[in-house]
């Protein structure tokens, strides 16, 4: 999962990002004295955030000042008596908001990595104020008229392509977010945004509360089937929570998934499964169903003020898919094949259960457990055996190797006393160009789960690349929730977790490879922005990575060739499960946002919609509605969860290009084209044009179907051009 900073700032509209997170201007309002969150970043590498001096008590005053200063900067642009030009309007907006940018970097770390009840109280209080601030920009009529004048003026013809795209992005950000409204509609639009900001924050905090509040503590005799490494990690998690001598199964995916895969205690598997998939759905103060209903109703009302039929229609207008129908068509092309594969998988699992005399019918809490048995039976592949070769530190070295070969990046550890960090777990590397030695940026890694850290894995950027007012280098960060083992013991991860590690590193490489001039162009189009990271997963299974970095944690010997062969042969194994649980969430997202939600009961709607889709009873959607943070804790992925599959079509198609290249996955010429056309340009080029520049044509769905071992339909391509 990618976000600009994993903060509410990333959830605000494009125009706010372009207007008030730029390079900054001279002070207009005196800042509060000695507020560490507002201080200019100093030190090496062009300045770094003072992560060791974060003071939660300084957040309210820092944010209030930063918003006020940004609004003064914006007002100065809006009231400029000179004729609107690209320089005095669009570029001037890019320069605003450096104070806010710094404050929101700290906000994002508290929100995602160091959340506490105290921060959540402040977050709940300030989220509506951020929304009000945003509305003051998007509804500044004089500012919009200046932007519109540049967008529609004669100067556009003389701009460079990236400058023309920047102008369009800024104009589109205003036009699609209420700038054209007046009177009561304008007031109502702003009020809706404020209420949504509060609801999004409340939704996310409810999920986090359930993740922290529901922990299963076990005794040693209840660890049947679980590895020694898992047991050690669970013991550490219990000790951290004051339960010495016990074993904690936390309510996060990184703990739930391996427990359901290996635990021989069926009753405990059911308990862990029910607890995990009931987050936000426990009919208590943290229940999210009423919040979902209100969010959907407010989103629907808001886009109707703009003249759209439904939220999905509004959202997809500027995405690659363009329309809900085109996005749905892709998902519906894959859905039947996924369902058919699930039937085969369940039959295989039931056969094993019957042969063992289990006397059960496969239930959702059995799927992972018996899938592992099928994997062993069909491919003689033991996931726990694979794990012995998947050392976290070695995987990090493998990622550095791939980045060095493809991007010519070199990673050098930064001493702990040189760059401040917000937690002792965090480490930092300097990124340089292998050939010239030129400094490119920093890469932060926060790898381990802890109380107050949201679940999952994500990438952020504390500072993006830009050159329009002096070069600024990238400060990127990867964040994971691996379970830290006993001191001195290597952290072993599953193959899926290793792929996720590579995936999120792909986002970091996207940040680090940027060569754009303006801050706004460091953004992305949601159904395209996952492509680069999904593509990087492919290098985990290359011979060069396997031979050098997948070594046994005790003997140091490379992973055996026969085990590698089993991994490759099983690459399409369990695709029914993984595709169906994902697509169910993506299809639900589209359905929620394609209807009039008046009076909706999310619990009933979810059940009825899944029944219409013939959702297998043995599988639950990857993110049930009450915990679907992608679409209800903000709007970044709302009606955009399908984008992972849209991006996967591009991924499969691009991967085939590498497979056919003379140098394979490390072909220098193709790698150079990859960086030039698909990474370095960020959002300075329309994604469809960028992909065609790399591949020479549009991507085709048949590569995706081959990838998953599904029947290939009549070849179809995807692009961002309107249908004729």
The pLDDT value given to residue 468: 87
Q: Same domain, yes or no, for 68 and 180?
A: yes
Residue ranges of alpha helices (H) inside 176-317 are 183-213, 228-240, 253-262, 266-277, 289-305, 311-316
Q: What does the alpha-carbon distance between residue 715 and residue 324 come to, in Å, rounded to a whole number?
A: 20
Q: 270 lies in a domain?
A: yes
Q: What does the alpha-carbon distance between residue 51 and residue 49 come to, in Å, rounded to a whole number?
A: 6
Q: 562: Cβ–Cβ under 8 A, 6 or more apart, which residues?
A: none
Known active-site residue 385: no
Q: Same domain, yes or no, for 194 and 113?
A: yes
Of 257, 277, 297, which marks where a domain is finished?
277
Model confidence, pTM: 0.84
Q: Same domain, yes or no, for 118 and 50?
A: yes
In the chain, the largest separation of any two C-alpha atoms, in whole Å, equals 84
SS3 content of the chain, % helix, strand, coil (to 5): 55, 10, 35
How buried is residue 443: exposed, middle or buried, by Cβ count under 10 Å (0-12/13-18/19+)? buried
Q: Same domain, yes or no, for 160 and 259?
A: no
- Going by C-alpha positions, the residue among 44, 90, 24 that lies closest to residue 439 is 44
The pLDDT value given to residue 660: 96
Q: What does the alpha-carbon distance between residue 291 and residue 603 come to, in Å, rounded to a whole number?
A: 12
Q: Same domain, yes or no, for 172 and 220?
A: no
Q: 584 lies in a domain?
A: no
Q: Same domain, yes or no, for 25 and 128?
A: yes
Q: Residue count of the chain, please give it.
A: 724
| Number of separate domains in the chain | 2
Map 544-565 to HEC letters: HHHHHHCECCCCCCECCHHHHH
Going from the C-alpha of 202 to that of each of 119, 127, 209, 517, 530, the distances in angstroms are 12, 10, 10, 36, 26
Q: Same domain, yes or no, for 35 and 184?
A: yes
The pLDDT value given to residue 526: 79
Residue pair 640/301 in contact (Cβ under 8 Å)? The answer is no
Q: What does the alpha-carbon distance between residue 628 and residue 512 come to, in Å, rounded to a whole number?
A: 29
Q: 526 lies in a domain?
A: no
Q: Same domain, yes or no, for 69 and 89?
A: yes
Where are any strands of DSSP class E within 598-677?
A: none
Q: 622: Cβ–Cβ under 8 A, 6 or more apart, which residues?
A: 581, 582, 584, 585
CATH value at residue 140 = 1.10.1370.40
The pLDDT value given to residue 11: 29
Q: Which residues span the domain enclosing 87? A: 8-208
Q: 587 lies in a domain?
A: no
The pLDDT value given to residue 636: 86
Q: Same domain, yes or no, for 185 and 236?
A: no
Tell me the backbone φ, ψ of residue 79, rounded to 5 degrees: -100, 10
The pLDDT value given to residue 418: 97
Tokens found for residue 353: 């259960």
The pLDDT value given to residue 8: 28
Q: Same domain, yes or no, for 63 and 193?
A: yes
Of 242, 277, 312, which marks where a domain is finished?
277
- 73, 466, 504, 635: which one is catalytic? 504
Residue pair 369/258 in contact (Cβ under 8 Å)? The answer is no
Strands 439-448 and 474-482, by their bridges, are parallel
Neighbours of 659 (CB within 10 A): 12
Q: 246 lies in a domain?
A: yes
Q: 42 lies in a domain?
A: yes
Q: What does the alpha-carbon distance between residue 121 and residue 232 come to, in Å, rounded to a whole number?
A: 34
Q: 28 lies in a domain?
A: yes
DSSP secondary structure, 485-511, as one string: -STTSPPB--HHHHHHHHHHHHHHHHH
Q: Same domain, yes or no, for 99 and 224?
A: no
Of 208, 241, 268, which marks where a domain is finished?
208
Going from the C-alpha of 647 to that of each of 403, 527, 623, the distances in angstroms are 21, 6, 19
Q: 383 lies in a domain?
A: no
The tens digit of pLDDT for each residue in 455-512 reads 889 999 999 999 988 889 999 999 999 988 788 889 999 999 999 999 999 999 999 9
Q: What does the alpha-carbon distance between residue 407 and residue 428 come to, in Å, rounded to a whole number?
A: 19
Helix axes 602-612, 289-305, angle to 10 degrees: 80
Using 50 as the pLDDT threshold, list the residues of the chain that sit under it.
Answer: 3-19, 21-28, 720-724
Q: Same domain, yes or no, for 258 and 129?
A: no
Q: What does the alpha-carbon distance between residue 722 and residue 611 come to, in Å, rounded to a whole number?
A: 32
- Going by C-alpha positions, the residue among 31, 49, 35, 27 that lies closest to residue 108 is 49
The pLDDT value given to residue 13: 37
Tokens found for residue 359: 């006397």
The rounded Cα 491 to chain-centroid distance in angstroms is 23
Q: What does the alpha-carbon distance between residue 323 and residue 593 come to, in Å, rounded to a whole number?
A: 12
The pLDDT value given to residue 2: 56
Residue pair 272/518 in contact (Cβ under 8 Å)? The answer is no
């Amino acid at each position: 999962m990618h976000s600009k900073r994993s903060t509410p700032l990333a959830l605000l509209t494009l125009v706010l990002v372009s207007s008030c997170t730029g390079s900054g201007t001279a002070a207009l309002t005196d800042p509060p004295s000695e507020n560490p969150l507002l201080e200019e970043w100093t030190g090496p590498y062009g300045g770094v955030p003072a992560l060791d001096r974060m003071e939660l008590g300084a957040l309210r005053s820092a944010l209030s000042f930063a918003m006020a200063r940004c609004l003064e900067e914006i007002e100065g642009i809006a009231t400029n008596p000179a004729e609107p030009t690209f320089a005095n309007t669009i570029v001037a907006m890019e320069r605003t908001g450096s104070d806010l940018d710094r404050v929101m970097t700290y906000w994002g770390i508290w929100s995602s990595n160091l959340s506490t009840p105290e921060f959540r109280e402040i977050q709940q209080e300030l989220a509506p104020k951020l929304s009000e601030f945003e509305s003051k920009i998007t509804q500044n009529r004089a500012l919009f008229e200046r932007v519109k004048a540049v967008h529609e003026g004669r100067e556009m013809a003389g701009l460079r392509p990236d400058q023309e795209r920047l102008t369009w992005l800024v104009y589109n950000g205003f036009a699609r977010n209420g700038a054209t409204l007046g009177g009561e509609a304008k007031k109502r639009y702003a009020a809706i945004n404020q209420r949504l900001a509060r609801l999004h924050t409340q939704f996310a905090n409810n999920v986090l509360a359930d993740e922290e509040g529901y922990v299963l503590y076990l005794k040693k005799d209840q660890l049947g089937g679980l590895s020694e490494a898992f047991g050690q990690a669970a013991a550490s998690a219990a000790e951290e929570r004051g339960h010495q001598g016990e074993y904690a199964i936390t309510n996060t995916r990184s703990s739930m998934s391996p427990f359901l895969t290996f635990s021989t205690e069926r009753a405990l598997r059911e308990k862990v499964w029910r607890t995990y998939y009931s987050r936000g759905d426990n009919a208590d103060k943290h229940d999210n169903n009423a919040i979902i209903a209100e969010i959907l109703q407010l989103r629907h009302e808001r886009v109707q003020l703009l003249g759209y039929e439904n939220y999905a229609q509004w959202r997809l207008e500027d995405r690659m898919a363009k329309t809900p129908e085109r996005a749905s068509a892709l998902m519906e092309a894959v859905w039947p094949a996924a369902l058919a594969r699930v039937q085969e998988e369940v039959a295989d699992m039931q056969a094993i259960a019957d042969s063992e005399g289990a006397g059960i019918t496969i239930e959702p809490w059995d799927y992972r457990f018996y899938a592992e048995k099928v994997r062993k039976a069909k491919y003689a592949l033991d996931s726990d055996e694979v794990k012995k070769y998947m050392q976290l530190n070695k995987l990090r070295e493998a990622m550095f190797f791939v980045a060095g070969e493809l991007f010519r990046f070199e990673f050098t550890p930064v001493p702990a006393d040189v760059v401040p960090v917000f937690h002792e777990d965090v480490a930092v590397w300097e990124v340089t160009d292998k050939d010239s030695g030129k400094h490119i940026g920093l890469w932060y890694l926060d790898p381990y789960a802890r109380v107050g850290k949201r679940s999952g894995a994500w990438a952020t950027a504390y500072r993006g690349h830009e050159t329009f007012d002096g070069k600024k280098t990238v400060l990127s960060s990867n964040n994971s929730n691996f379970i830290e083992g006993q001191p001195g013991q290597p952290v072993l991860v599953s193959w899926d977790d290793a792929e996720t590690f590579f995936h999120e590193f792909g986002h970091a490489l996207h940040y680090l490879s940027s060569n754009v001039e303006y801050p706004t162009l460091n953004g992305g189009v949601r159904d395209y922005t996952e492509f680069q990271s999904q593509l990087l997963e492919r290098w985990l299974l290359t011979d060069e990575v396997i031979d050098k970095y997948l070594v046994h944690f005790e003997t140091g010997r490379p992973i055996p060739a026969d085990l590698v062969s089993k991994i490759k042969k099983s690459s399409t194994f369990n695709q029914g499960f993984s595709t169906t649980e994902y697509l169910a969430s993506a299809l639900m997202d589209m359905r929620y946002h394609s209807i009039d939600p008046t009076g909706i009961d999310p619990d009933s709607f979810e059940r009825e919609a899944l029944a219409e889709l013939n959702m297998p009873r043995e599988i639950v959607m990857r993110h049930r509605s009450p915990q679907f943070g992608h679409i209800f804790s903000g709007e970044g992925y709302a009606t955009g969860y399908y984008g992972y599959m849209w991006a996967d079509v591009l991924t499969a198609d691009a991967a085939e290009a590498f497979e056919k290249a003379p140098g394979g996955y490390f072909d220098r010429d193709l790698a150079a084209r990859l960086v030039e056309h698909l990474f370095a340009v960020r959002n300075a080029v329309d994604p469809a044009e960028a992909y065609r520049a790399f591949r020479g044509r549009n991507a085709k769905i048949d590569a995706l179907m081959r990838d998953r071992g599904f029947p290939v339909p009549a070849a179809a391509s995807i692009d961002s051009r309107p249908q004729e």
